[in-house]
Structure 1
Amino acid sequence: MINILKTKLILLKREPLSFIVITIIICLFAYILGLGQQAKLPIAVYSNLDKNLTETMLQELKKMPDVEYQLYDEEEALKLVEEGDVELAVHLQASSFELISSPNFLNAPLFQNEISTIYREVMQNETIVTAYPVEQQKNIQSILNEVESNASFNVEYTNFSNDGDFIYDSKLHSLFGFTLFMVIYTIANGVNHLVMERRNHIWSRLTVSSIGKTQIYIANLAYSFLLGYLQVVLVLSIFHFGVGVDFYGGFFKTLIAIIPYLFCIVALTIFVASIAETPGKFNAFIVVLAVPFAMLGGAYWPIEIVTSKVILTLSYISPITYGMQILNGVTIHGATINELFQPLGMLLLMAVILMGIGINVLEKKGHS
Structure 2
Amino acid sequence: MTAGNTKPTQESTNSMATRRPTLHRAVRLSGLFVLITALTSCATGRIDPTDPVGDNAKQIDGIMRLSGYMAVAVGVFVAVAIVVVIIKFRERPDDDPNDLPKQIHGNKKAELTWTIIPVILLVFLTVVTIPAVFDLSGKGDGRTIKVEGQQWWWQFSYDVDEDGIPDIVTANDLVIPVGEEVNLEILSNDVIHSFWIPQLNGKKDAVPGRVHHWRISSPVPGIFYGECVEFCGLSHANMQMRTVALEQDDYDAWVEDQMKVSSVPTSASAKRGYDLFGRHCVSCHVVNGVYESAANGNANLTSGYAPNLTHLMTRTSFAGSVFELYNDDGSLNIADLREWVRNAPAQKPSRPDNRQGMVSFAEILNEADLDDLVTYLTTLGGHPPLMPS
TM over 0.5: no
Higher helix share: 1
Higher strand share: 2
